Amino acid sequence: MVRAWIWVVAVALLGLGGNAAADDRASGTVTIESKSVALGIGVSWGDGTLHFQDKTHAFSVRGLSVADVGFAKVSARGEVFHLENLEDFAGTYAAVQAGVAIGGGMSAAALRNQNGVVLELTSTQTGLKFTLAGEGIEVKLK
């Protein structure tokens, strides 16, 4: 139920209809492994891979959230939409997500960067982390 609610909020606030690119095919796929530590202001970091145009590209992820408590490890997978040039993948992605993960929790999120690239992610989280505000993540190609 929480997962469905998170997805509805993300879709509504980001202006994405059901699927971020209902009429488009995915440009690629991503996998991300991230860790987060927080007490008041949370910081997360991690690495990922982008599969785009038959090649694999490594990238790093760094994020900041404003009202966290706890520690979590997040594994995410998803699809990339509206990516035409590799250079457009890097940037700051805005996410809409509020929830609690205790033990093994799942969530879904839609993120968009300044270049219009959209990530639709499904994540699994372990540990304890309360997130009370939207998060943003910075992606840098390696």
Question: Is pLDDT larger for residue 103 or for residue 52?
Answer: 52
Q: Which amino acid is at 6?
A: I
pLDDT, one tens digit per residue, over 106-129 is: 777 788 999 999 988 887 777 766
Q: Is the distance from CB of 72 to CB of 65 less than 8 angstroms?
A: no
pTM of this prediction? 0.71
The residue segments making up the domain with residue 53 are 2-141
- For tokens 């979590």, name the residue: 72
User: What pLDDT, on the 0 to 100 scale, is given for residue 9?
Assistant: 40
> What average pLDDT does the segment 70-93 reach?
90
Classified as helix, coil or strand, 93 is: strand
pLDDT, one tens digit per residue, over 20-49 is: 444 478 999 999 988 877 665 666 788 999
User: What pLDDT, on the 0 to 100 scale, is given for residue 129?
Assistant: 64
- For tokens 């509805």, name the residue: 8
User: What pLDDT, on the 0 to 100 scale, is given for residue 137?
Assistant: 83
Closest to 42 in 3D by CA, of 139, 140, 134 = 134
Closest to 109 in 3D by CA, of 25, 4, 1 = 4
User: What pLDDT, on the 0 to 100 scale, is given for residue 58?
Assistant: 97
How many domains does the chain divide into?
1
- For tokens 């970091």, name the residue: 45
> What average pLDDT does the segment 70-77 reach?
80
Cα distance between residue 39 and residue 58, in whole Å: 29
Q: Is the distance from CB of 28 to CB of 50 less than 8 angstroms?
A: yes
Q: Is the distance from CB of 18 to CB of 102 less than 8 angstroms?
A: no
User: What is the share, in percent, of the chain residues with pLDDT greater than 70?
Assistant: 61
User: What pLDDT, on the 0 to 100 scale, is given for residue 113?
Assistant: 93
Distance of CA 36 to the CA centre of its chain: 13
